[in-house]
């Protein structure tokens, strides 16, 4: 088993380059299945989730090859097995995104119900299925698999409301958009997700020949086309990775430069950090972040984009443990996404959970301890807390962080952090 050993408190300095966005690369790789031929993607992060997507695409007959410098070739010239196997799909929720493109391209799909970070509660796919059914797909669920079939007349465009109790669905929007891109006639997706990753996927699909309008808004209109062609595309920078490093700079009272990022995708986190006293100089594709002195407390509520992202909630919570007063966080997207609370408290934080909110009583210092990573962003929060804490922090189960952060240890080491990956026997 791999662990991270951190000797805190650390000071960071220098420049960190942000990788391509996991949550854009994954649905875009699925969308590449729509094009008969070789798609070339640039800036695809080398992380476990992308390797899982390679495995999934390989299993359906699509050949993926990692080339030099973050480039990936996806050859969807033939698809011989439109099945998303349980053993692959259970590892990663984004694998379920294969059902939309398989339906569009092959007229049928059989895909296991997904897994993903389940430590933050039940994650249904009912809206994905509602959207596909609205297009006319015949869907049944048996033995843990969703079987979907295109009816005789093909998929037919229609108006679909994609909202759920906790707002729009990101991957649901991706799935239905992909299926609708080759349906007959016009589909209007209302209350669609407008996260930058969905925008990037829609832009990629437009390059392929899809007729999509309303990108970046909550209403996407799609005119179905008969075929889509393979293209070249560069994945947007990972806003969550960038946000994680911003928090790292604040927690360690440091100054760092974050390059290859897209500050306009981070308006809510930047606004929040500025209110907490952080200096952020924003350029077109880089940011200089510095913090000295007190961290002002904050009140945060996670929301769909452009609101504050749930994928930065855990990292901001770690930071607010060091604020000069009480802070509040309410989680509106995944009301149970709090597995990091108990582990942060092991580092001497004072966090109390009340329903889907927490109250954080800020302290001057955190103290190192052994902790257990429970999901991807919870792990990132524990690493950040470990960098700021006094003494040694051991983060166990780092396979969670390896799902989504490329070279996290070497990037932090290059900034001067005393962090090491170690292999220990289970
Ligand atoms: C690979 C990827 O891109 N993952 C991101 C994606 O996950 P994902 O797309 O799975 O998250 P959703 O946007 O679908 O979830 C939003 C809310 O809708 C609910 N819901 C969702 C689908 C559905 O059919 N029914 C339903 O009720 C969910 O339980 C949740 O409460 O968006 C989340 C919200 O920004 C991020 O935290 C994840 O990092
Ligand atoms: C929750 C995440 O991923 P997933 O949806 O794959 O669980 C994430 O990227 O923070």
**How do residues 188-228 score in pLDDT, each as one tens digit?**
999 999 999 999 999 999 999 999 999 999 999 999 999 99
Provide the residue range defining the domain that includes 13. Answer: 2-19+237-423
Measured distance CA(321)–CA(285) in Å, rounded: 30
Look at residue 366 in the predicted model and tell me its pLDDT. Answer: 98
Closest ligand to 376 CA? 2
407: left (phi over 0), alpha (psi -120 to 50) or beta: left
Which residues have C-beta atoms less than 6 Å from ligand 2? 23, 92-94, 116-117, 311, 376-377, 404
Strand partners, 14: 256
Give CA 402 to chain center in angstroms.
13
The residue whose CB lies within 8 Å of the most ligand 1 atoms, and thus the one to mutate among 29, 31, 94, 171, is: 171
* 377 close to ligand 1 (CB < 6 Angstrom): no
417 phi/psi in degrees, rounded to 5: -80, 145
Give the residues of the chain that fall short of pLDDT 50: none
pTM (global) more than 0.90: yes
pLDDT digits (tens, 9 = 90+) for 270-328: 999 999 999 999 999 999 999 999 999 999 999 999 999 999 999 999 999 999 999 99
Residue 278 sits in a domain whose CATH number is: 3.65.10.10
Nearest-CA residue for atom 33 of ligand 1: 170
Looking at 204, 234, 264, the residue that finishes a domain is 234
Write down the residue that tokens 């995944």 correspond to. 334
- Helix-strand-coil percent breakdown of the chain, rounded to 5? 35, 30, 35
Look at residue 247 in the predicted model and tell me its pLDDT. Answer: 98
Residues 224 and 246 in one domain: no
24 phi/psi in degrees, rounded to 5: -95, -45
Looking at 201, 217, 234, the residue that finishes a domain is 234
Residues 334 and 359 in one domain: yes
Strand partners, 19: none
Supply angle C-alpha 35, 40, 41, rounded to 5. Answer: 110
Residues 30 and 177 in one domain: yes
Determine whether 261 is an active site residue. no
List Cα–Cα distances, 11 to 14, 414, 418, in angstroms: 10, 11, 9
pLDDT digits (tens, 9 = 90+) for 372-383: 999 999 999 999
Both tokens of 348, joined, read 């001497």
C-beta of residue 231 within 8 angstroms of C-beta of residue 39: yes
Look at residue 425 in the predicted model and tell me its pLDDT. Answer: 85
Residues 14 and 58 in one domain: no
Task: List CB contacts of 165: < 8 A, sequence separation 6 or more.
Answer: none
Closest ligand to 48 CA? 2
* 130 close to ligand 1 (CB < 6 Angstrom): no
Ligand 2: atom nearest CA of 377 is: 10
Query: Among residues 117, 262, 272, 321, which one is catalytic?
Result: 117
ipTM of the predicted structure? 0.99
Ligand 1: atom nearest CA of 165 is: 27
Both tokens of 123, joined, read 């994650």
Q: What is the tally of structural domains in the chain?
A: 2
DSSP state of 367: B
């Amino acid at each position: 088993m791999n662990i991270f050993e951190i000797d805190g408190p650390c000071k960071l300095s220098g420049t960190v380059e942000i990788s391509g966005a996991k949550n854009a690369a994954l649905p875009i790789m699925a969308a590449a299945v729509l094009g008969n031929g070789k798609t070339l993607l640039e800036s695809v992060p080398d992380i476990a989730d992308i390797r899982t997507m390679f495995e999934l695409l390989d299993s359906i007959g699509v050949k993926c090859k990692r080339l030099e410098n973050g480039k990936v070739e996806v050859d969807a010239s033939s698809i011989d097995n439109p099945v998303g196997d349980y053993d692959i799909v259970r590892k990663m929720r984004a694998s379920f995104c294969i059902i939309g493109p398989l339906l569009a391209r092959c007229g049928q799909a059989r895909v296991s119900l997904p897994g993903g970070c389940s430590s933050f509660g039940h994650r249904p796919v009912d809206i994905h299925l509602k959207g596909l059914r609205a297009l006319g797909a015949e869907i049944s669920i048996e033995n843990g698999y969703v079987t979907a079939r295109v009816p005789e007349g093909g998929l037919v465009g229609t108006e679909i409301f994609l909202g759920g109790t906790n707002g729009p669905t990101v991957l649901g929007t991706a799935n239905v958009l992909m299926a609708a891109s080759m349906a007959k006639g016009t589909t209007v997706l209302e209350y669609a997700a407008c996260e930058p990753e969905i925008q990037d996927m829609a832009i990629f699909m437009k390059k392929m020949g899809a007729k999509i309008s309303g990108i970046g808004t909550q209403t996407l209109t799609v005119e179905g086309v008969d075929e889509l062609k393979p293209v070249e595309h560069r994945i947007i920078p990972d806003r969550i990775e960038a946000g994680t490093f911003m928090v790292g700079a604040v927690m360690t009272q440091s100054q760092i430069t974050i390059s290859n990022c897209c500050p306009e995708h981070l308006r809510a986190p930047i606004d929040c950090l500025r209110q907490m006293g952080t200096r952020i100089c924003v350029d077109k594709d880089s940011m200089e972040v510095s913090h000295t002195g007190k961290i002002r407390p904050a009140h945060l509520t996670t929301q769909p984009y452009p609101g504050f992202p749930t994928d930065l909630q855990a990292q901001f919570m770690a930071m607010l443990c060091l604020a000069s007063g009480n802070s509040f966080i309410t989680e509106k997207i995944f009301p149970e996404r709090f597995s990091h609370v108990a582990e942060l408290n092991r580092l001497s934080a004072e966090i109390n959970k009340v329903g889907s909110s927490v109250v954080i009583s800020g302290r001057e210092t955190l103290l190192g301890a052994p902790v257990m990573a429970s999901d991807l962003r919870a792990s990132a929060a524990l690493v950040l807390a470990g960098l700021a804490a006094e003494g040694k922090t051991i983060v166990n189960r780092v396979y969670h962080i390896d799902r989504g952060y490329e070279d996290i240890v070497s990037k932090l080491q290059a900034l001067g952090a005393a962090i090491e990956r170690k292999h220990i026997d289970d």
